[in-house]
Amino acid sequence: MENKQKILELLKVLKKLFPSPKTILNYKTPFELLVAVILSARNTDKKVNEVTKKLFAKYKTIKDYKNADLNDLEKDLSQLGLFRQKAKFIKNTATIVVDKHKGQIPKTMSELIEFPGVGRKTANIVLGNIYKIYEGIAVDTHVTRLTRLFGLTKNKDANKIEKDLIKLLPKDEWFDFTNRMIFYGRAYCPAHCKHLNCPLKTLIAN
C-alpha cells in the first residue's frame, strides 16, 4: 500500500476512535500552555498537570515568572525531570515575552523557536491551540514511534519526520493528527505493544 493511501486509511480509523482530540495539558492562558509544553519534554502530561496546578496558582502573570527567584522556581518544578534547566527556560522565556513582545505570545514559528527550550514541536502546539495557525506537525515520542511503526517514515529525527508527514497529510489534518496519534499510542499501542488488539494493526509495516 502506498503511504498516501495508507495515511488516509489511518486517518479514517483515528477519526472514528478520537473524533474531537484535545490536548490533555491543563492551561488557561497562552503563556500557561507554553510553560506546560516546555515542561512536558521528558515528562508525562499527567505529571505536568499535577505540577502546574500548584505552579499556575502561584505564578498568575508572565511578570511573576520573569521576577521569580530561580531557586524558588526550581523547587516548584522539582518533581519533574530536568527541572533546573526548565526553570531557567521558563524564567528567560517570560523575560523575552515581557520585554520584547509586550507580554504577548508571538504568532510565528520563527519567533517562538527563539525562546529557550522551544523547538518546532512546542511551537506547533502553541500556534495550533492558541491561534489556529498550522505551520507544521508537532512530532513527539508517540508520533515518532507510531509513524515509523506504520512505515510512514524511516527517519528518527523529529524535524525530518515532520517533513515526511507534511508531504503525506492534508494541511487541515496537521494539527489534530498529533493528538490522535498520542491518544492512539496511549489507548491501544504503547511501547513494546504486541499488537493483539490494535485497531490499526493491518497497517503496520513489515
Helix (H) or strand (E) holding 95: helix 83-101
- Rounded CA-CA distance 1/5 in Å is 7
> Could you tell me the sign of the dihedral formed by the alpha carbons of 7, 9, 14, 15, in that order?
positive
Which entry of 66, 86, 91, 121 is annotated as an active-site residue? Answer: 121
Grid coordinates representing 46?
499527567
Yes or no: say if 174 and 151 are a contact pair by the CB < 8 Å rule. Answer: no
Known catalytic membership, residue 60: no
Which entry of 140, 154, 160, 167 is annotated as an active-site residue? Answer: 140
DSSP H helix total and E strand total for the chain:
11, 0
Known catalytic membership, residue 121: yes
Residue for cell digits 515568572? 65
Yes or no: say if 178 and 137 are a contact pair by the CB < 8 Å rule. Answer: yes
User: What radius of gyration, in Å, describes the C-alpha atoms of the chain?
Assistant: 18
- Rounded CA-CA distance 19/10 in Å is 13
Active site residues: 121, 140
